[in-house]
Amino acid sequence: MGSGMRLLFVGWATAGLLVASAAGAATFTVSKTADTADGACDADCSLREAVIAANASGVADTVLLPAGVYTLTITGAAGVDDEDASVGDIEIDTQAGGGLTIEGAGSATTPSDASALAHRIFHVPTSFNAVAVSISGVTLSGGNLTGFSLSFPGCALRAASRFVTGITLNDVVVTNCTAGQVAIYSWTPLVMNQCSIHDNASGGVGLSTDPNVNGSSKLTTITNTTIARNDGIAISSIRSVGNKQHSFNLTNVTLSDNDQTLAGVSTVGAIT
């Protein structure tokens, strides 16, 4: 599996830049596929610049991705899991309860070359305190955490924040990711629909619970999704301590040809 990182979004026509709503929320439309971070999302706006702009707004914003292959190339320090969205992985770190929706045009996978980023794609750090994150219509490919500490899993998406409302993934494909224990890792509940987590040199989905956070057990709901041919555990509860549990509700989910199907799950909650 290659180490280049590719984000494939298919079907949007390139449109405007910034549209503000009456409630103050904004829509940032990416205008190019190159990976840049010049401090502004204007007529020349990359995916990275759009997320940085949304992070700074403090309200619930949307990032729209037109058709194209988005290649992340701005590397950070090797093996360092920083929280700087301008380099390495892209931090989703909206403050003051804003939340963020990243909306691609479809998750169709098209072969593409990419420069090596040697990092994951998206990271929701512990400082995130907004209401929710939603990602749809995208393919996340080529995340690579080789050389990173095992304390920072998730080679495509890592959600280290413990916000209650969770992350929604709809029509998201994750493939060709390496290391990091699992492709998707979250401290917060996940809602996954019409997703495919396949052919990763890691496990599929890993969840943790935190006994020091308010609230009771967490529920991750996965529907109409395939988790297949991953070099690790398809679904795992990486950590569950105290009186907190993480339950999984699976409906029309295919788990096939993974190194292992489930781990830790039977002891932390029900699978239905």
Measured distance CA(215)–CA(154) in Å, rounded: 24
Higher pLDDT, 213 or 22: 213
Q: Which spans in the chain are helix H? A: 47-57
Is the separation of the CB atoms in 204 and 234 below 8 Å? yes
Q: Please report the pLDDT score of residue 243 as a whole number.
A: 54
Mean pLDDT, residues 67-95: 86
What is the pTM assigned to this prediction?
Answer: 0.86
Residue 138's nearest CA partner among 115, 161, 158, 122 is: 122
Helix (H, G, I), strand (E, B) or coil at 214: coil
Distance CA 116, CA 145 (A): 11
Q: What tens digit of pLDDT does each residue of 89-120 get? A: 999 887 655 689 999 989 885 323 334 688 89
Max CA pair span of the chain:
52
Torsion of CA 144, 38, 138, 240, to 10 degrees: 50
- The helix (H) or strand (E) run that includes residue 233 is strand 233-239
CA atoms of 109 and 125, how far apart (whole Å): 28
CA distance 183 to 202: 6
Q: Which residue has the higher pLDDT, 18 or 256?
A: 256
The more confidently predicted of residues 32 and 24 is 32
Q: Is 241 helix (H, G, I), strand (E, B) or coil?
A: coil
**H/E run at residue 70:** strand 68-71
Residue 182: per-residue pLDDT: 93
DSSP label at residue 212: T
Binning pLDDT at 50, 70 and 90, where does residue 131 land? low
